[in-house]
Structure 1
Amino acid sequence: MSLKSYLDYLSFEKKYSQHTITAYEKDLEQFGLFLMDEYDLEIQNASYPIIRTWLALLLDQQLSSRTVNRKVAALKSYFKFLLLIEQIDYHPLSNHKSLKVSKNIQIPFSKQEVQQILNASYDSEDFESVRDLLIIELFYVTGVRREELINLRIENVNLLSRTIKVVGKRNKERLIPMLESVKFKVEAYLLLKESIETDKRPELFVTRKGDKLYPGLVYRIIKSYFSKVSQKVKTSPHILRHSFATHLLDEGADLNAVKELLGHASLASTQVYTHSSMEMLKEVHRNAHPRSKKD
């Protein structure tokens, strides 16, 4: 059974993101090499004890529990597919329990840190400066995922209604409102974009050479700007998305409304962002309540 058939299944049937498909492909290829080198076996012939040996090897290599669990998820998904097409008659990981992962509460950027960047002066004629600040503002104003921003097409940016249409996980589309201030920045950016392009790309954001953006560049843009105003260890596009959700909740936004804006399938995913809001409330309570003050 070719790996390509499985990857096509993930893409066209399960509607997985390209990021997930690529990660699963690498995980399966890694496990396949291990099986051939150590046991001269194909993946469909792997037993649970052999899989456990591989997982133990990964942990010996100091891989995190979260990373190992993702590799297990890739194997589970592949075996489930093999069962579906009747290439195997039992699932070797059916009773496997995932490793425990410590819950790290991600700290969002403060409102002051975000405003410090967005209110800073910049060269309005420099393409990269205009693009980078628009990227940061769109992340913060709309809460989109990195992949959604990279794939955002000009035709899906409606300046008249001040909305953008993004394609999220499982190819689900959603409309997200923009602020009036962002509308004018998009218009200014599009003029600069036209001046650098030889072949006009359909995506809103491009590199200085006119090529499509890529994940590493977007990550570097966020890190470059926020490392100047924030002492946080992690400065990434996801932290900006996290900040978007947390700041909305801090200002009293309805949890279900935030869920729709983020494109979450379940409310449980959105509730993760309430932790930061609760920490802020605890701080206010601790500082203001008479009983918390020491003599």
Structure 2
Amino acid sequence: MTKISVMIEKFLDYIAVEKRYSEHTLTSYKKDLQDFLLFVSSTESTVDLTKVDKKVIRNFLVHLTENQFQKRSINRKLSSLRSFYLFLLKIGEIEVSPLESVSSLKFYAEKQIPISEEEMKELSGILDGDEENYLEKAIVETLYQTGMRKSELCNLLFDNVDFSSNEIKIKGKGNKERIVPISSILAEILYKFIDIRKPLPENEIYFFIRENGKKLSEKFVYSVVNRYLSMVTSKKKKSPHILRHSFATHVLNNGAEISKVKKLLGHSSLASTQVYTNGNIEQLKKVFNQAHPRANGED
């Protein structure tokens, strides 16, 4: 194993143990570093990443842009490299990070339009009438009624579904755990799913199991959600994340406190949750007109 390969492995061990990053994040970081190493080895006279300077980083950005990487993907790779070089600084392998004055690319995030409550009611009717695909019903309802991420759904442990108190323990980003209450309706759906659940021995610990006995994959979950949402909406985004977005929007619209929604979603900061309030200006106007004395012309 080369010196740089050892450094990368040490870095991955560091963010796994010290930072407690998820397996999914580790895989992404490893892929980003491998891509960068491949670029450096094909364009520079050295493969020693400790010798890389700002010019190499900028050439890498040009390379990614020319290969039509989205700005969001480029920024993620920059973030991976930034973390890696901060680690090299920490262990004394370098004195200055080549990303010290390299900024992330600016871009305007595409507005996420949630599925409407009416569309979700229509989808609920479709799912109720589709008894043959009970796993798929459980997937869609769980995502929408809990707001969990698709990775959290795939890795949900059987022992973390508590029917006695109607709660689910979710392990989120950075292995942080949160408790999310579930409705009696969802509890009934999940309890019924247990009757058809036949896991392979190595997958016994996971709650959601496919017909082949294996745990869910994120690709499978995306396919299920996209197919069912296509039945009720023409909106562009039809992903598990849009169900999470819809969950947050709908509970906020119906009076939930934003601090409580933050806990349900597993956000580390309130700013992450506030994005779901941006599209609720009409709801805010309605609340204002009903509650504020000035809105009613009172002194």
Partner of residue 185 from structure 2, selected from 181, 188, 191: 181
Q: Deviations over 1:244-273 (max 9, x none)?
A: 000011111111010011111110000000
The aligned counterpart of 2:172 is: 168
The aligned counterpart of 2:15 is: 10
Query: Structure 1 stretches of 5 or more lacking a match?
Result: 286-295
The aligned counterpart of 1:122 is: 129
Shift of the alpha carbon at 1:76? Answer: 0.5
| 8 Å CA contact 1:83, 1:90 repeated in 2 | yes
CA distance in 1, matches of 2:97, 2:223: 41
| 8 Å CA contact 1:108, 1:239 repeated in 2 | yes
Task: Determine if the alignment matches structure 1 residue 153 to structure 2 residue 160.
Answer: no
Task: Determine if the alignment matches structure 1 residue 140 to structure 2 residue 147.
Answer: no
| 8 Å CA contact 2:200, 2:214 repeated in 1 | no
The aligned counterpart of 1:89 is: 95
Shift of the alpha carbon at 1:122? Answer: 3.0
Matches within 5 A, 1:14-93: 14-41=19-46, 42-93=48-99
Shift of the alpha carbon at 1:197? Answer: 3.7
Shift of the alpha carbon at 1:227? Answer: 0.8
Q: Deviations over 1:19-59 (max 9, x none)?
A: 22211111111110111111132222111011101111211
Q: Deviations over 1:92-144 (max 9, x none)?
A: 111111111113220011111111111224343x3xx1111111111111111
Give the secondary-structure state (helix, strand or coil) at the position aligned to 2:114. coil
| 8 Å CA contact 2:225, 2:240 repeated in 1 | yes
Give the secondary-structure state (helix, strand or coil) at the position aligned to 1:276. coil
Calculate the TM-score normalised by the size of structure 1. 0.90
Q: Deviations over 1:200-240 (max 9, x none)?
A: 61111011101011110000010010011110111111000
Matches within 5 A, 1:262-281: 262-278=265-281
Task: Determine if the alignment matches structure 1 residue 211 to structure 2 residue 218.
Answer: no
Shift of the alpha carbon at 1:284? Answer: 11
Shift of the alpha carbon at 1:276? Answer: 2.1
Equivalent residue pairs, number: 280
Give the secondary-structure state (helix, strand or coil) at the position aligned to 1:94. coil
| 8 Å CA contact 2:64, 2:74 repeated in 1 | yes
| 8 Å CA contact 1:203, 1:212 repeated in 2 | yes
Alpha carbons of structure 1 residues 95 and 198: separation in structure 2 relative to 1, 3 Å = closer
Identity %: 40
Aligned AA (1:157): V
Alpha carbons of structure 1 residues 70 and 279: separation in structure 2 relative to 1, 3 Å = farther
Aligned AA (2:248): A
Partner of residue 243 from structure 1, selected from 241, 246, 249: 246
Alpha carbons of structure 1 residues 279 and 50: separation in structure 2 relative to 1, 3 Å = farther
Aligned AA (2:213): G
CA distance in 1, matches of 2:134, 2:283: 33
| 8 Å CA contact 1:138, 1:182 repeated in 2 | yes
Aligned AA (1:57): H
Moved more, 40-49 or 173-182: 40-49
| 8 Å CA contact 1:219, 1:236 repeated in 2 | yes
Moved more, 57-66 or 246-255: 57-66
| 8 Å CA contact 2:85, 2:97 repeated in 1 | yes
CA distance in 2, matches of 1:198, 1:256: 40
Moved more, 217-226 or 37-46: 37-46
